[in-house]
Amino acid sequence: MKFFADTADTAEIRDLAEAGLLDGVTTNPSLIMKSGCDFIEVTKEICGLTSGPVSAEVVSLDHAGMMREAEKLRKIADNVCIKVPLTIDGLKTCRALTSDGTMVNVTLCFSANQALLAAKAGATFVSPFVGRHDDNGFDGMELIRDIRLIYDNYAFATEILVASVRHTIHVLEAAKIGADVMTAPPAVIKALVKHVLTDKGIEGFMADWAKTGQSL
């Protein structure tokens, strides 16, 4: 399963890339606002930190507006992936862009039917939001299972990009189901390394090493 970082924080992105834990990046208007950076400039910088897809989201809601914005965004770098909402206009834009060889991430997916439409429109990625699904009384991981089954039934090329990941269990379950990608805040990705027995093991080794009086 590929790991995307859901952030516009370039320091965090660089740190994950150096650890070999970065296959791409997802951004959205909220993350750009949080970074306090210029939209175009920070997207360009992020694209230089990874060779993987970098999702940059349009802000128009109509097809013509989305296409105008996508034209600007895809000029930033070859690894820009245009992010569009799962609406009819978003699907029109997806079809037009993917037909032209541009990667598209169809976002804000909350049902298997919506995911089916995204695949029909030729999406490179579809982003079901598991955390927000859970928040509203639904089972986010069941949604991933349904999408996986449908995509496998028809050999759709669209990759399932599990989004709105809140904790490490979401990552584990997504991997067990067979999701293609998960995107999470850097803190969640880094938390995957944590285990109490690992910490205790290191503590024990260090204590024993100190008793030897040696140094390396």
How many Cβ atoms are within 10 Å of 165's Cβ, its own excluded? 23
176 is catalytic: no
- Selecting among 75, 83, 120, 190, the annotated active-site residue is 83
Alpha-carbon 120 to chain mean position: 21
The answer to whether the CB of 41 falls within 8 A of the CB of 14 is no
CB 52 within 8 A of CB 81: no
Q: How far apart are CA 116 and CA 153, in angstroms?
A: 11
Query: What one-character DSSP code corresponds to residue 163?
Result: B
- Helices 168-177 & 140-154 angle (0-180, nearest 10): 20
Catalytic positions, please?
Answer: 83
